[in-house]
Amino acid sequence: MNKSMTLIEKIIANHSKLEKVKPGDIVDIVIDARAARDFGGPNVVKNILDNNLSIDDPSKTFFTFDTNPTGSDQKYAINQHKCRVFAREHGIKVFDINAGIGTHTLIEQGLAYPGSTAVTTDSHANILGSVGAFGQGMGDKDIAVAFNRGKVWFKVPKSVKINLNGKRPENVFAKDIVLNLLNRFGANQLLGYSIEIYGEEVDKFTLDERITIASMATEMGAIIIFFTPNKEIMDFCSAATGRKLELVKADEDAEYEQVFDIDLSSFVPMVSLPGKPHDTVNIIEAKKTKIDSAFIGSGTNGRREDMRKVAEVLKGKKVAPGVVLKIVPTTNHIWDRCLDEGLIKIYREAGALVSNAGCAGCAAGQVGQNGEGEITISTGNRNFPGKQGKGLVYLASPATVAASAVAGYITTFDDIPEQPAVFEAHYQENTSHEERNKQQKAPEPKPEILKGRVWYIPEDNIDTDMIFHNRYLAITDINEMGQYTFDNLEGYEDFSKKAKPGDIVVVHKNFGSGSSRQQAVDCFKALGVQAIVAKSFGAIYERNAINAAFPIITAKNVEDLQLEDGNEVELDLKGGKIRNLTKNIEIDAEPFSEVQLEIYQNGGLF
């Protein structure tokens, strides 16, 4: 038997009872580090207490408070306290509000290292691919089981290889590289794949650069982006763990679904246009766009090298009048180094606001949010509508963001004007929508044939912020969730008012991309929606729905059903059939797997 494996296959096999795994295998894997954040943590605690679960190994179990490290929101403060109390009682380590972003802390503390596995309620846990570790964001039910068993089930994904050939242009930063990749692959071409990136120049990428690129695997729809560690990274991780580590890498003759050869020398500085991280353009197309604010930080670009480049751009300069520049280092360790190196002084003299380490604007819980009509340029990983506030958000590298803050408009670090642009306000009124909460318990017993009225939404990439916005993440009562369903999806803001128990939602590709939030599944259950049919689902969303016993069906040719809103459809979950009863049309769909059917009939993962 050929035992050659890709990197993700090798890591999964090493953490299972199997010598070899292949794409499609569903495997129980041991998790080396199990973490919950301050928005998912309370639900993890609730699941453990409600189901009378124990903790498998407290030394491998952690809480990371990074979404609201200022404790500035009352609900977050309460939730953090719940986690602290639980942690004290069970001997669990808490990386509290003074630590920084949890996934970065795992690397710094040697808890995630080459060849290891880690899960957390952070959908960007795949940044651990930067050190050749398997990191995965999961919902609160998964994390609760990981706390309890030390293992989770996982479906081995297919792998692709990207070869970045040629020389890297001098003015192209790591953020530009991943934005170029997003321009090439979009949000779903590599949906559900494990990506390995190779190349002569890639071998020279620093840890900070690898983290920047790996962190945006989620925005590409991928499971993870892997880099094979070089000597510098192996030495760093060995020092962090306190032991000599062995390199884990893909076999030379590993089989990949596809191999892409891409010319790195053709890459240019880029920005993501507001609304979609993958809607990237050459920065020339966005130059001179007036901005109201700038943000530097997030799990993607708050690293030490980022902070140094920002200081290099800002030194001796001032932020443009009327522009607000917010800077948030990734971890407290990096914050301290910024202080030691005099970078904080440079930021402050330039007129920037510097906050303590954490996720900041990305999590809607700290400095970094913008208001209605506000135009922001940000180093964040996402710019979905409403993700970093109610304004418009462009994504770019730290050098570009710092230069733009000084110029008053979008520009590059080598093209900062002598005089900043004159501020012009841009404000747009948005009509608020009243929401009502419909409560409906899931029907019992669980039928394998479902019939219902259709909501047909022929759109790709409906992300979790459109489904259930992050401003509601502190809600833990499922009965309160339904009223917020789709209220951030244009044209469907009143969905919760019109939806009826028994309805079935049919959408297109990559439904549920983005965050790991369980609420994006539970809000439909709260409304009594029976099921969702899609061409494909975001990987974390698919897990959350299955674990919650909420029926999701994959059907790649839903257009053939000729659906219209209000049609009646029938879903055969076990048989893998979908019928438009109104028009007497039937198509094939993917039947429930054995795992999915078992969890569905069980009423949930527990």
Superfamily grouping for domain 7-266: Aconitase, domain 3 (3.30.499.10)
**Delimiting residues of CATH 3.30.499.10 domain(s) in the chain:** 7-266, 270-407
CB 388 within 8 A of CB 361: yes
Beta bridge partners of 436: none
Give the residue from 120, 55, 51, 122 showing the smallest Cα distance to 86: 55
Q: What is the pLDDT of residue 183?
A: 95
For 285, residues 6+ apart whose C-beta sits below 8 A from its C-beta are none
Q: Is the dihedral of CA 47, 48, 53, 57 positive or negative?
A: positive
Q: What average pLDDT does range 436-459 have in this prediction?
A: 77
What 8-state DSSP symbol labels residue 470? G
Helix/strand/coil (H/E/C) assignment for every residue in 21-79 = CCCCCEEEEECCEEEEECCCHHHHHHHHHHCCCCCCCHHHEEEECCCCCCCCCHHHHHH
What is the residue-averaged pLDDT of the chain? 92
Q: What is the pLDDT of residue 476?
A: 86
CATH class of 270-407: alpha beta
Q: Using 50, 70 and 90 to split pLDDT, how confident is the model at 474? A: confident
> What radius of gyration, in Å, describes the C-alpha atoms of the chain?
23
Q: Is the pLDDT of residue 1 over 60?
A: no
Q: Using 50, 70 and 90 to split pLDDT, how confident is the model at 67? A: confident
Q: What is the pLDDT of residue 442?
A: 44
Tens of pLDDT, residues 387-435 = 777 889 999 999 999 999 999 999 999 999 999 986 554 445 554 544 4
Give the residue from 119, 146, 153, 135 showing the smallest Cα distance to 17: 153
Query: Is 0.85 surpassed by the pTM of this model?
Result: no
Region for residue 394 given its phi and psi (left: phi exceeds 0; alpha: psi -120 to 50; beta: otherwise): beta
The DSSP string of 206-266 is -HHHHHHHHTTTGGGT-SEEE----HHHHHHHHHHHTSPPPP----TT---SEEEEEEGGG
Q: Is the pLDDT of residue 216 over 60?
A: yes
CB 278 within 8 A of CB 370: no
Q: What is the pLDDT of residue 39?
A: 80
Q: What is the pLDDT of residue 471?
A: 82
Q: Is the pLDDT of residue 205 over 60?
A: yes
**Delimiting residues of CATH 3.20.19.10 domain(s) in the chain:** 449-602
Give the residue from 92, 33, 105, 106 showing the smallest Cα distance to 63: 92
CB 270 within 8 A of CB 22: no
Give the residue from 552, 67, 8, 532 showing the smallest Cα distance to 297: 67
Q: Is the pLDDT of residue 9 over 90?
A: yes
Q: What is the pLDDT of residue 77?
A: 85
What is the CATH topology of the domain spanning 449-602?
Answer: Aconitase; domain 4 (3.20.19)
